[in-house]
Every structure is written in C-alpha cells, then in structure tokens.
Amino acid sequence: MSDTGILTIISGFSGVGKGTLVKKLLENYDNYALSISATTRQMRVGEKDGESYFFLSKEEFENRIEKNDFLEYANYVGNYYGTPKSYVVEQLKQGKDVLLEIEIQGAMQVKKLMPEALTIFVMPPSANTLKDRLVGRGTEKKEVIEARLGRAVEESQGIENYDYILVNDDLEESTKRLNELISLAHDASFRNYNFINKIREELKVFRKEI
C-alpha cells in the first residue's frame, strides 16, 4: 500500500545470525536498502567509502551532530559511529524499505526520532541453541564464555520494546518471514492516511452528485 519506504530496525542476540538475515534479504528482494553508518575511524584495507561506512573526519562528524543529522551516534574508544539521517530519509523517499541493524540502545534512540519505524528483535529458537553457539567448540576460555553469556543476558533486556520477535530457526524461512513482516507493515492504517482520506472525500463527492 503506502509508497514511502519503511525504516526497519533490526536487533537481536549476538550470534543469532541477524547479519546473515539482513544480507539474505538484500540479495533476495530488490525493494531494500541498507542503512550505512558513518565513522571517524581509519578506513581499513578492502573497505570503500559509502559501502562499509561513510568515512568522515572528526570535524565533519561533529558538524553533522550540530546539524542533527544523526538518528543516533556514540563514541567508542575515541571514534565516533553514527547513523546518518539524511541518507535514510533519502532512501525512504525513493520508496526503499531501509534496514538498520543496531543494538538496543541505538535502536531506542532511533525509535524516538522516527516513531513510525518498525522494530524487530531476532531470537534463537531456544536458550540452549544460543548457548551452544556462544560456548562454541569448547576450546574457549571460561572468561570468554562468561562474558558472552553475560552479554546475552544484557541483550535480552528490553525485547518487549520491539514490535515483533523473529525466531531465526531456518535462514530461508526467516528471510521470507522478515520480508512478510515488512511488506505487511505497509498496510498499517497509520501509514495509509492519504489513501483513506482520498476514498472518504471521493465518497462524499459521489453522494453530493447523486
């Protein structure tokens, strides 16, 4: 229905495969665009500006902060990372459904600025599945596994703030389901006020013309 794109915020547990899911969605359907982050960190070998990241100087980045051009940003270990708003808005206007893969704090910041965004949290089929993935082949140190499980517990806070959960059991199935979730979100009433009003006004005209 609605012609404007939808911003979909995708979060989920580390190791749950949400990156692969997003990649698959971009491969299988052509109505999606990936939100590209901006950063002030050094470009690495193999990276390209505007693909992996938009690479900005510290000054440029802070200028954009001033101009409110970030949906969210943060500073990690001396480098800025953020989601440029103008890029996302431009893609949405062109009718692209924009995918933003981001952790929960960033997600909630974006949701505040764009409350119409769709939010999805990717889950494992069971805690056991996730544990197996995090523990790995048993060759990891106890501290590493402890840290990973601690992080998973942290990541599990606030799942209720997301619109939908998506259980990533089978990659093909989950990709299809993710696409359906976004596709059907276009039919939400609040995204179709123009269409609803148009029909309402036309019916009034017809009644007068009888």
**Residue numbers of the site for a copy of itself (CB under 8 A)?**
1, 121, 123-124, 126-128, 130-131, 142, 145-146, 149-150, 152-153, 156-157, 159-167, 177, 180-181, 184, 187-190, 192-193, 195-196, 198-200, 202-204, 206-207, 210
> What is the rounded distance in angstroms from the CA atom of residue 63 to the CA atom of residue 37?
16
Q: How far is the CB of 149 from a copy of itself (least distance, A)?
A: 4
For a copy of itself, the closer CB: 52 or 179: 179
For a copy of itself, the closer CB: 45 or 153: 153
Q: Running DSSP on this structure, what letter comes out for residue 4?
A: S
Which H or E run contains 191? none
- For tokens 């800025």, name the residue: 80
Q: How far is the CB of 156 from a copy of itself (least distance, A)?
A: 4
> What is the rounded distance in angstroms from the CA atom of residue 59 to the CA atom of residue 75?
14
For a copy of itself, the closer CB: 54 or 158: 158
For a copy of itself, the closer CB: 49 or 201: 201
> What is the rounded distance in angstroms from the CA atom of residue 102 to the CA atom of residue 151?
15
Q: How far is the CB of 125 from a copy of itself (least distance, A)?
A: 9
Q: How far is the CB of 75 from a copy of itself (least distance, A)?
A: 29
Q: How far is the CB of 54 from a copy of itself (least distance, A)?
A: 32
Tokens in use for 78? Answer: 């001396």
Q: Answer whether 74's CB lies under 8 Å from 68's CB.
A: no
> What is the rounded distance in angstroms from the CA atom of residue 157 to the CA atom of residue 104?
9
